[in-house]
């Protein structure tokens, strides 16, 4: 069974590093990407048509159960990592 994953952030690291590695792993299924940028949301839809675009971390956490998420990958600027990772861990991701 594949692990259902979300990617938080779709800038340089998310788009060019994390998303391709997740897509290449037969054990992972990238089902959601968090980005607040309309331009990056359009890029997610073009690059990853099977992934749902989520506008912010709070919405992702609220929808984690509905999406069946088991894993979240944080690919945002480093200053926000601790707060974002803590919120995701508290949510069970």
Length of the chain in residues, anyone? 93
Alpha helices by DSSP H, 6-80: 12-13, 19-24, 38-47, 57-67
* Whether the predicted model's global pTM rises above the 0.75 cut: yes
- What's the pLDDT score for residue 6? 98
pLDDT for the residue 86:
96
Q: What is the pLDDT of residue 77?
A: 87
Question: 3: part of which helix (H) or strand (E)?
Answer: strand 3-8
In angstroms, the CA 53 to CA 38 distance is 10
Taking the chain (93 residues) in consecutive chunks of 10 residues, what is each chunk's mean pLDDT?
A: 96 96 96 98 97 98 97 93 94 89
Among 89, 64, 63, smallest CA distance to 74 is for: 89
- pLDDT at residue 54, as a whole number: 98
Distance CA 26, CA 59 (A): 27
Amino acid 78: pLDDT: 87
Tell me the two tokens of residue 65.
């159960």
Phi and psi at residue 17, in whole multiples of 5°? -120, -65
């Amino acid at each position: 069974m594949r692990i259902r994953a979300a990617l938080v952030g779709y800038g340089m690291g998310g788009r060019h590093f994390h998303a391709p590695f997740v897509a290449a792993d037969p054990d992972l299924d990238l089902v959601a990407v968090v980005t607040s940028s309309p331009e990056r949301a359009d890029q997610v839809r073009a690059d990853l048509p099977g992934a749902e675009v989520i506008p912010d971390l709070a919405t992702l956490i609220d929808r984690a159960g509905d999406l069946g998420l088991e894993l979240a990958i944080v690919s945002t600027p480093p200053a926000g990592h601790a707060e974002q990772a803590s919120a995701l861990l508290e949510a069970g991701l």
